[in-house]
Amino acid sequence: MSQDFEPLNKKRCYACIQWDGIRTISVDQDGKKVLRVDKHVDGYCNQRHLKIRGDKTCKLFFKVQ
Q: How far is CA 56 from CA 18, 30, 40, in A?
A: 13, 27, 9
Q: For residue 52, what pLDDT is reported?
A: 94
Q: Label residue 20 left, alpha or beta by phi (over 0 means left) and psi (-120 to 50 means alpha).
A: alpha
pTM strictly above 0.75: yes
- Domain, as residue range, for 24: 4-53
In a domain, 14, yes or no: yes
In a domain, 36, yes or no: yes
In a domain, 62, yes or no: no
DSSP letters for the chain: ---EEEETTS-BGGGBTTB-S-EEEEE-TTS-EEEEE-TTSEEEETTTTEEEETT-B-TT--B--
Q: For residue 58, what pLDDT is reported?
A: 86
In a domain, 32, yes or no: yes
In a domain, 58, yes or no: no
Q: Number of folded domains in the chain?
A: 1
In a domain, 27, yes or no: yes
pLDDT (tens place) for every residue of the chain, 65 residues total? 578 899 888 899 999 999 999 999 999 888 888 999 998 999 999 999 999 999 999 888 998 87
